[in-house]
Structure 1
Amino acid sequence: MTDEESKLPTVPTEPVEGEEEEIDVSPFMDYLQSPQGHEIASRLVGIIEEVKKVTLNKNFSHAKFNRWMEAGVIVVVIGSVVLLSIMDKLNPTVGMLLGSVVGYFFGRHKNA
């Protein structure tokens, strides 16, 4: 290269933004229409459905456990308040602490 050629601007070989190369997907579509391609696609869809089913069941059992936990905490807090009130030991600090516990269990999943 001469000095003049090295000073010339180079032309980019990559496609300019907005000018995307077209990808030919017809061989892939032809394969999917074949018996082997159809079998692979069917198995893939089956796997996705199984994963979805397992995820939904897991989320349901987790939500059910959380509801039982919330109900248990509320029953314990109400029982504690009643017992402390009967014994005349309920003071504002304990009331605020128990209210905070109940508020935490009601509000912990609302932000997610």
Structure 2
Amino acid sequence: MNILLCCSAGMSTSLIVTKMEKAAEAKGISARIWAVSESVVRSQIDEVDVLLLGPQVRFLLNEMKNICGEKNIPVEVIDMMNYGMCNGEAILEQAIKLKENK
């Protein structure tokens, strides 16, 4: 499963990526999880199963839905509470549910 996180600079989600990777490993889930700035999303969209947006870039949701819609890639904003608490397990679950329901 390939999960791309989009944030404003591609840096603020690095801790979340680490926590999500640990949660995936603990659950025995094979996942590639990485974060980029919104300007890089288009160039990497072909590698993605799920796109999650950081709350700070929620204003990009419609644009990202347009980009991902053509490829049937689900997009959602990360829950602000989970993002703020760096709850990697909950954010991973959000991504898994998105992929299952696409």
TM-score of the two chains, using structure 2 as the length reference: 0.24
Q: Which has the greater radius of gyration?
A: 1
Greater RCO, CA 8 A, separation 6+: 2
From the two aligned structures, give the one with the greater strand fraction.
2
From the two aligned structures, give the one with the greater helix fraction.
1
TM-score of the two chains, using structure 1 as the length reference: 0.23
